[in-house]
Structure 1
Amino acid sequence: MTVRVSKGEATRLAVLDEATRTAARLGLSGLTIGSLAARLELSKSGLFAHFKSKESLQMQVLERARDLFAEEVLRPALRAPRGEPRVRALFERWLAAITEGGSECLFVSASAEFDDQPGPVRDQLVRDHRDFADSVAQMFRTGIAQGEFRADADPEQFAHDLHGVMLGFFHARRLLDDPRAQEWARRAFEALLAAVRVPPPAQSGPAAHTDGARPTAR
């Protein structure tokens, strides 16, 4: 089934895509209807008809960024098999989104901008971050159910720690321009998985070597 989008809606989405890219670089606070109109060579009055106010524009940009992040990161990850493969797919997609300067960059920069500014934009950011943390925790729970992650591991702690890894990658790549940023992130991710993975069963019987000697080839 083909979903038809009106000309007005297509224009709004095109404007929001540009606004999202701009806000990812310059921040939400610097995004105004006037500056966006100048960037797109559109009339300010025409854009005002779509967005009404700067705050409305910011809220709609957040909504668009949320949709793009779901398309770029969450939905592809959810198509991977449950358990560790799904968590790995999430990590790889998330890493790529930051590397390519996608919607994730907007959420990081906006969090720094609005963490001490009460209001609708901050409230929406809080909901977005909590919803995403819940999604990561749920992915981890499926890994516990699959028997791949330890039953006593804390899904919320894993989501928190993974977010810390990705924030570290964002900082190392975007601010420090560290050529090893991705290497550091991958090492931290592997250490995180190693700490929660169910260990393989210990060998027993003739195949086990308890004297420290290496088995010899026949």
Structure 2
Amino acid sequence: MSPRKSVAEAMGTRAAILDRSVAVASKEGLEGLTIGRLAAELGMSKSGVLGHFGSKEALQLAALGRAGEVFRAEVWEPVVAVAPGLPRLRALCAAWVSYLERQVFPGGCFFVAAAHEFDGRPGAVRDAVESLFDAWRARLLKEIGRAVAAGELPESTDQAGLAFELTGLAMALNHAIQLHRDPEAAACARRAFAARLGDPAKAGGDHP
């Protein structure tokens, strides 16, 4: 076996472990990840799984990183080409609703679940979850700030408050889908986002 093939196979195995870890953690939490379980489900030895990560915590952190890649691909990358400011903010919220509505992760929003699981537990995993939320809040604030600077949102907009509201709407949608199995939840969320950010069909109309 050539070194190049060996490296490619190792990367493929690691990716398979991470994809399975994300699927399990989405439903059962990051604490539901065990080396033994993953080894059994993937037809590997425990040492084979452990060799890719070294510890359960390292596996949890890697699963968070993989989930972050999926979220970016689903919510951020589709809107990169949209004009910055309010148009991109609206597109981000639409992609966010779609991501939750389609249940990209089997157990709902991976990060909401991880936050509930680790928010009161100091350590590297909690810090990583907080960092991911902080990065997303910074993204929302950047687009809100651009919208205000462009006159697309009122100068008096409480920018931090608006980011807080948009995050709250998404979390409420996740709750309605996962706990209540509400078939109207996504439509309700879209109306709420539109009410807060204005109707994109009303170009040049009233500000929200």
Coarse TM-score class (shorter-chain normalised): 0.7 to 0.9
Choose which of 173, 179, 186 in structure 2 pairs with 1:175: 179
Alignment of 1:101-180 (within 5 A): 101-102=103-104, 105-180=109-184
Decide whether the 8 Å contact of 1:37 with 1:47 is kept in 2.
Answer: yes
For CA contacts below 8 A with separation 6 or more, give which structure has more relative contact order: 2
Map Cα deviations across residues 119-173 of structure 1 (whole Å, 9 max, x no partner).
Answer: 1100111111011101111011121222211112122211111000000100111
* Distance in structure 2 (CA, Å) of the matches to 1:200 and 1:23: 44
Decide whether the 8 Å contact of 1:21 with 1:102 is kept in 2.
Answer: no
Choose which of 171, 192, 203 in structure 2 pairs with 1:188: 192
Decide whether the 8 Å contact of 2:61 with 2:125 is kept in 1.
Answer: yes
* Distance in structure 2 (CA, Å) of the matches to 1:101 and 1:39: 22
| 1:11 partner letter | T
Query: Which residue of structure 2 lines up, in the alignment, with residue 36 of structure 1?
Result: 38
- TM-superposed CA distance for 1:188, in Å, is 1.3
- TM-superposed CA distance for 1:198, in Å, is 11
Equivalent residue pairs, number: 197
SS of equivalent residue, structure 1 residue 17: helix
Alignment of 1:5-44 (within 5 A): 6-44=8-46
- TM-superposed CA distance for 1:99, in Å, is 2.0
**Residues 136 and 125 (structure 1), Cα distance of their counterparts in 2 relative to 1, 3 Å cut:** same
Decide whether the 8 Å contact of 1:149 with 1:198 is kept in 2.
Answer: no
Please identify, of 162-171 and 36-45, the stretch whose mean Cα deviation from structure 2 is larger. Answer: 36-45
Identity %: 38
Larger radius of gyration: 1
Please identify, of 125-134 and 17-26, the stretch whose mean Cα deviation from structure 2 is larger. Answer: 17-26
Query: Which residue of structure 1 lines up, in the alignment, with residue 81 of structure 2?
Result: 79
Matched, 1:50 2:49: no
Decide whether the 8 Å contact of 1:134 with 1:156 is kept in 2.
Answer: no
Map Cα deviations across residues 3-23 of structure 1 (whole Å, 9 max, x no partner).
Answer: x97221122112111211221
The RMSD of aligned alpha carbons is 2.2
Decide whether the 8 Å contact of 1:83 with 1:143 is kept in 2.
Answer: yes
Decide whether the 8 Å contact of 1:138 with 1:155 is kept in 2.
Answer: no
| 1:142 partner letter | R
Alignment of 1:53-64 (within 5 A): 53-64=55-66
Decide whether the 8 Å contact of 2:24 with 2:32 is kept in 1.
Answer: no
Map Cα deviations across residues 10-56 of structure 1 (whole Å, 9 max, x no partner).
Answer: 22112111211221111111111111111222221100100111111
- TM-superposed CA distance for 1:93, in Å, is 1.3
